[in-house]
Amino acid sequence: LRLRLLGGVSVDPSSRAEAPSAFAPFRHRAFAVLWTATLVANIGTWMRDVGLGWMMAELSPSATMVAAVQAAAALPVLLLALPAGALADVLDRRRLLLGTQLFLLALSVALTLLALAGLLAPWLLLAAALLGGVGTALSAPAWQAIVPLLVPRPVLRPAVALNSMGVNVARAIGPALGGVVLAAVGAWAVFALDAVSFLAILAALLWWGMPV
8 Å CB contact between 35 and 162: yes
| Residues 24-36, mean pLDDT to the nearest whole number | 95
Smallest CA-to-CA distance from 194 within 87, 60, 42, 76 is with 42
pLDDT per position as a tens digit, 151-172 = 999 999 999 999 999 999 999 9
**Between residues 142 and 2, the one the model is more confident about:** 142
8 Å CB contact between 48 and 132: yes
Percent of the chain with pLDDT over 70: 90
Per-residue pLDDT for 15 more than 60?
Answer: no
The secondary structure of the chain in percent helix, strand, coil, rounded to multiples of 5, reads 80, 0, 15
pLDDT at 133: 95
Task: Identify the bridge partners of residue 137 per DSSP, sorted by sequence position.
Answer: none
Nearest-5° Cα angle at 169, 165 to 171: 115
Phi/psi of residue 92, nearest 5 degrees: -65, 115
- Exposed/middle/buried for residue 69 (C-beta within 10 Å: 0-12, 13-18, 19+): buried
Rounded to whole angstroms, the Cα distance separating 205 from 37 reads 9
8 Å CB contact between 33 and 196: no
User: Of all helices (H) and strands (E), which one includes residue 4?
Assistant: strand 3-4
Nearest-5° Cα angle at 36, 34 to 40: 115
pLDDT per position as a tens digit, 179-210 = 999 999 999 999 999 999 999 999 999 999 75
pLDDT at 22: 85
| Residues 23-36, mean pLDDT to the nearest whole number | 94
